[in-house]
Amino acid sequence: MTKDVFVALSDEELLKFISERNELAFEVLYNRYQRKIYTFALKVLKHEERAEDVVHEIFLRLWQHSQPAQINNLEAYLRIATRNYSLKVLRRLIVEENAAERIVNTQMGRQLSDIEEQIFFKEIDGRYREVLSKMPSQQQKVYILCKEEGLKYEEVAEKMAISKLTVKTHMQHALRFMRSNLIKYTGTVLILILLKSFF
């Protein structure tokens, strides 16, 4: 099959070929989504080289995926994977900056241990999840579908049997709820930095 033939194929069809380790199919998917992934990663990281690294990492994971043909919604899968990995990079940078500051202030060369880092991440995620759990039911459903599952407003509207306008309204209220409740916590600035790109 020629490249032109692959270009005309759907994501699902290309994923089947990737399951068979077809490099041409992989190249077509890369060209189809690399700009979107780069733009999304850049929005989070504000750093071109790091955003490019995220693109390479995400597509490497796709190539190494044990069963790529079972991915139902590739765009949503890539969006979530990009978000998660970009946040991981951002968190690592924040930890490194905090560690460097501690070294300067205490004149000690000890960096944060893996256990400390895990506690740090868990605390941030715990605060976010706590606020999310307090969100009104419909707003919470819309927020999760849009922000965590990567669905578009039209897809959420169809899934929940409501109008697109209602979805948009729920999202506006959900984001306002998230911001106003996160502001109550100590270390809010850090959490808002992590979540800013998804508001």
Q: Mutual orientation of helices 114-134 and 74-106 as an angle, nearest 10°?
A: 130
pLDDT at 13 over 90: yes
pLDDT at 69 over 90: no
Whether residue 147 sits in one domain with residue 107:
no
**Maximal CA-CA distance, the chain:** 63
Average pLDDT over residues 47-61: 89
Whole-prediction pTM: 0.53
Per-residue pLDDT, 93: 76
Whether residue 117 sits in one domain with residue 66:
no
In whole angstroms, give the CA distance from residue 150 to residue 143. Answer: 10
- The first and second tokens of residue 9, run together, are 């194929």
Here the CATH number for the domain that contains residue 194 is 1.10.10.10
In terms of phi and psi (left: phi > 0; alpha: psi -120 to 50; beta: otherwise), the region of 67 is: beta
Whether residue 162 sits in one domain with residue 97:
no
Query: Higher confidence at residue 28 or residue 109?
Result: 28
Whether residue 28 sits in one domain with residue 88:
yes
Whether residue 93 sits in one domain with residue 190:
no
Average pLDDT over residues 172-184: 77
Domain that holds residue 131: 113-199
Domain end, chosen from 111, 146, 180, is at: 111
Average pLDDT over residues 18-45: 91
- Indicate the helix (H) or strand (E) that contains 134: helix 114-134
